[in-house]
Chains A and B, each alone.
Chain A
């Protein structure tokens, strides 16, 4: 197994500690793609950065992250340095700010390679190959970031993330700042790289439809917890958690009469991350809330083949699932 995350929690120390990530577990194998969805503040970026311990020192990480069998939460810093880039790399959002404006893009990619392999030979050729693999002409080696468009800069970031031939890529909102057509190109590129090289990918976004199209499975986060997990297509088509249903409805399908002149939103705000309340954290905003939701112990229950949901309604004692469709499952 490439990556095994078990009961991962991140708490920021403060007068009232902020529980940003609460007990997240999942596994990922090479060649697999996992999309992590949720609104701002749901803990999705914190969770992903915690995997490589890229968080400020005020963050306390609990639980276990095993990467290729090695426990990362307790690994020495020297090991972490080796794992980052080499084993697992991150494509950050906003390529604008992530690149050094006074160095050529070739220089910056070279730096990442040399840091991890001092004796590397033929680096120039390797970088030119990398640039071509992300759809940039090799002569762009000499370009400065300001000479490139937003889409091209994001391609450079992807090339850099691939520079040390990692086994895992974490892409944090890789297309948020990009134009629609360019977004399509970048997503197609990432999908192709994963298929061809067999690396694992975790992609983070608030746009469920982008994730569903690019990733095989999806985890939906709310208030620091995974509230639904399963194969993308089924999860979006037939959500088993009302929060997933709300996120899915936010990006309408063109041609669907239900969303024509009827934008779907979700009222209310996410809960205060410094509070630990009993029951389901989504209950105050839930359109199908029941009395027991505010008191019952909520877990990520099985909700069908390869699917899990943290909604009381999947337990079978309620005749309807979260999405409002009738199921034949019992108990």
Chain B
């Protein structure tokens, strides 16, 4: 396999302590790769660190540990290198209305990036092309308009056009459709798919919505408290989830075809200033409770950390992800796959 476009290894971002609280480990030993032309969905609940990761990837937050390599080169925070990196990797945010300057016309919003990067020749053509690629046609009709004159979907298209104007090779989209209407949602997702087809763009799409992953992603990575707990092909992970957290997320994603089910896990989103020892999911884990009730020895969940390990073509950070592991454990031998913390 060729070098991945984006490679993240053991990434750590720790925010300093505030008011007698311990420091927050927003990203805590995360590994992730995105291949060229690949769309990866990163899913998890609020506070799991997914937006912090997005900010690291575009150089807005400096990691406290680990490595980010883009196109084989380590991400540098020196200003010239960072500027080039920010041209190649474009960030798209959730709320297009707050991402756009209300006093700037569509033309100026899209032209701003190229101007900052001194790409002034053929600026008008560049803006036109970006707008039509983003589905705003004919582009000239949108040049003089202000954000408030556009619908939410059109605003998000302007944000995407501003990203495209710099001819990036990757989009990092943080909840790109969460603030949009149901009918517009599919249109914007289809646009991201089309850009991959036409321009070979890779994308990391961050969302809390597993349906979005099913709609557009090749691979999905499930994040919990700063770390990936399960990743693999969308079909494998979403149809045969192995990690109890992935199962819990799937159980709450609404499905018109069944009765509402009580959520598998209780409690509030976890706190990155107090990451539990052992497996970080153990205090909320329904599988652990179930196994304990069946007399399986689950003490290792509390005492030793688990790393991602391959199970049937996907990677899972759960020592009981494999049914066979449960078998072994219930026959009173301690589980084999423990890893150092």
Contact = CB atoms under 8 A, between A and B. Distances in A.
Contacts of B210: 254
* Overall SS of chain A's interface: helix
Contacts of A149: 268-269
* Overall SS of chain B's interface: helix
A260 B214 contact: yes
B255 A209 contact: yes
Contacts of A93: none
A305 to B, nearest CB: 18
A95 to B, nearest CB: 14
Interface residues of B, number: 46
Given A180-B253, A212-B254, A152 B186 contact: no
A299 B155 CA distance: 35
A265 B187 contact: yes
A250 B185 contact: yes
A68 interface: no
Interface stretch (A79-87, A108-116, A181-189): A181-189
A188 B256 contact: no
A3 B25 CA distance: 51
B252 interface: yes
A209 B259 CA distance: 11
B183 A248 contact: no
A179 B45 CA distance: 6
Interface string A164-182: 0000000000000001111
A151 B193 contact: no
Nearest to B43: A180
A236 B269 CA distance: 31
A252 B217 CA distance: 13
B193 A261 contact: yes
B239 interface: yes
A207 B182 contact: yes
Interface in A226-266: 232-233, 236-237, 246-256, 259-266
Contacts of A254: 210-211, 214, 238-239, 250, 253, 255
Nearest to A42: B181
Contacts of B185: 250, 263, 265
Contacts of B268: 149, 151-152, 182
Interface string B239-258: 10000000011111111111
Given A181-B252, A249-B186, A263-B215, A188 B260 contact: yes
A226 B266 CA distance: 37
B183 A262 contact: no
Given A246-B183, A247-B182, A255-B239, A181 B249 contact: yes
Given A152-B268, A180-B249, A254-B238, A259 B214 contact: yes
B208 A179 contact: yes
A114 to B, nearest CB: 30
Contacts of A179: 45-47, 208, 269
Given A179-B45, A251-B254, A266 B260 contact: no
A181 B257 contact: no
A189 B3 CA distance: 49
B263 A251 contact: no
Given A149-B269, A263-B215, A206 B181 contact: yes
Interface string A251-295: 111111001111111110100000000000000000000000000
Contact of A263 (B216, B248, B252): B216
B180 to A, nearest CB: 9
A31 B208 CA distance: 32
A303 to B, nearest CB: 18
B171 to A, nearest CB: 15
A269 B151 contact: yes
A209 B254 contact: yes
Given A253-B255, A259-B214, A39 B182 contact: yes
A213 interface: yes
Contacts of B260: 187-188, 191, 213-214
A253 B254 CA distance: 9
26 contacts: A39-B181, A39-B183, A40-B152, A151-B268, A179-B45, A179-B46, A179-B47, A180-B209, A181-B263, A182-B45, A188-B260, A188-B262, A209-B256, A212-B254, A213-B256, A237-B257, A250-B182, A250-B186, A252-B215, A253-B211, A254-B211, A255-B214, A255-B239, A259-B215, A265-B189, A266-B186
Interface of B: 45-47, 151-152, 181-190, 193, 208-211, 214-216, 234-235, 238-239, 248-260, 262-263, 265-266, 268-269
Interface of A: 39-40, 149, 151-152, 179-185, 187-188, 191, 206-210, 212-214, 232-233, 236-237, 246-256, 259-267, 269
